[in-house]
Amino acid sequence: MHNEESRLHPITFIDPLAIDRPTYDRTVPARDSYQRRIDYLRISLTDRCNLRCVYCMPEVGMQFMPKDELLSNEELLRVVNACAQVGFRKIRLTGGEPTLRRDLVSLVAAIKAVPGIEHIAMTTNAVKLAPIAHQLKAAGLDRVNISIDSLDPQRFAQMTRGAKFADVWAGILAAEAAGLTPIKLNMVVVRGLNDHDVIDVAALTLTHDWDIRFIEVMPLSGVADVANDGVVASAELIGRIESEFGPIRDLGMHDADPAHRYRINGARGHLGFISSISEPFCSTCNRMRLTADGRLHLCLLRDNEVDLRGALRSGCDDDELMQIIRHAVYLKPWGHGLPDGVLPTLRGMSSLGG
């Protein structure tokens, strides 16, 4: 069924109503052409954000999508229902910044009610999280990942271009109190900006039962200048941490989790290293991304997309929608093309949600 040419040449955009698609077996979970089970959907609820983090967005010049180009709640829930019926089990809500959605709590509840959806997580900058953490938990949100790129308030403001560290810290504590656990804190490490903060952030695991995840900066649209010179390989970070704390215990990787996990001796929490650049983990990838404007983005670091919004607004029924999603899963590339010089240019991180 697979077009061998698509393995060799990048697909940029697919209109699913304008191509011939095979008929897929409705009785088995969706798999790509490499037989990876794809069961994790990351949903960008908005491309807007209240911050301008240096590794995510340019400081000025951002143009956000008009509201009529975004999926409505009804359209979004149709996609989630169709995805659940083809085998997706885990949802992650992202942005932009998902807490900017005024209907976030009710949307979480609606997604949680979809048969087949077993787990809902959210990635957030936590600036607006504290007042709604308990509401989100009650609605069905299972846990959160929170961005925290430094413990130094001044450097944190520099990295985020304006956030108050106290607001984010309050969000972390509120999430923990609400039971949105295990708490995972994401630190995107950029050489020359915050790489010297890694030891302090890692030390949080000594006293907190949190997962601290160090992420290699990625060359997405709008921040390539930061990424080109800013990557600090995970192996280097591990060396720095071991110089401070002694040998750390290697706990390996768990299923399709992209983080290679470690623990400092005697620590309550864990360290994780997401090494998309230096040590790609494409063989275990189980995820796809739904953009706020309704495109299935097939690989974070490629431009391949399948247009679901167009299909929805052209009147496709639920059965056809499921077949389109199965076809999109089948077309998922093996992995990114950075070693071959293939760079993503279509979207920035703020419209993909990581």
Q: Would you place residue 302 in the very low, low, confident or very high pLDDT band (cuts 50, 70, 90)?
A: confident
Name, in order, each residue with C-beta under 8 angstroms of 289's C-beta and a sequence gap of 6 or more: 41, 42, 43, 44, 296, 297, 300, 352, 353
DSSP assigned state of 31: B
Alpha-helix residue ranges (DSSP H) falling in the chain: 5-8, 73-85, 104-112, 133-139, 153-160, 165-178, 198-202, 204-207, 224-230, 234-245, 308-313, 318-330
| Of 303 and 140, more confident | 140
Q: Is the pLDDT of residue 146 over 50?
A: yes
Integer Cα distance of 75 and 128 in angstroms: 26
pLDDT at position 341 over 80: no
Given pLDDT bands bounded at 50, 70 and 90, which one contains residue 354?
low
Phi, psi of 199 (to 5 degrees): -60, -45
How many CB atoms neighbour CB 33 within 10 A?
A: 17
User: What pLDDT does residue 9 have?
Assistant: 37
The pLDDT score that the predictor gives to residue 12 is 64
Q: CA angle, 141 as apex, 114 and 56 as ends, to 5°?
A: 105
Percentage of the chain lying above the pLDDT 70 cut: 91
Structure confidence at residue 158 as a pLDDT band (50, 70, 90): very high
Task: Look at 28-37, 218-227, 252-261 and tell me which has the smallest mean pLDDT.
Answer: 218-227
With bands split at pLDDT 50, 70 and 90, how would you rate the model's confidence at 6? very low
Is residue 348 predicted with pLDDT exceeding 80? Answer: no
- Helix, strand, or coil (residue 181): coil
**Got the DSSP string for 84-121?**
HHTT--EEEEESS-GGG-TTHHHHHHHHHTSTT--EEE
Any bridge partners for residue 211, and if so which? Answer: 184, 270
Predicted pLDDT at 17:
74
Query: If pLDDT is split at 50, 70 and 90, which confidence band does 227 have?
Result: low
pLDDT at res. 224: 55
Tokens of 182: 């295990």
State the pLDDT at residue 229.
76
**pLDDT score, position 61:** 79
Query: What average pLDDT score do residues 141-167 get?
Result: 97
**In 3-state terms, what secondary structure has residue 171?**
helix
CA–CA separation, 176 and 246 (whole Å) = 29
Rounded Cα–Cα distance for residues 283 and 273 (Å): 17
Q: Does the pLDDT at position 8 exceed 60?
A: no
DSSP code, position 216: E
Q: What is the CA radius of gyration of the chain?
A: 20
Q: What top-level class would CATH report for the domain 5-180+284-351?
A: alpha beta
Q: What's the pLDDT tens digit per position in 43-92? A: 999 999 999 998 888 888 788 899 999 999 999 999 999 999 999 999 99
What per-residue confidence (pLDDT) applies to 5?
Answer: 34
Does 13 score more than 80 pLDDT? Answer: no
**If you average pLDDT over every residue of the chain, what do you get?**
90
Question: In the structure, what pLDDT confidence band is assigned to residue 343 with cuts at 50, 70 and 90?
Answer: low
The average pLDDT across 96-111 equals 97
Q: Tell me: pLDDT of 134 over 50.
A: yes
Instruction: Decide: residue 114, CB within 10 A, 0-12 exposed, 13-18 middle, 19+ buried.
Output: middle
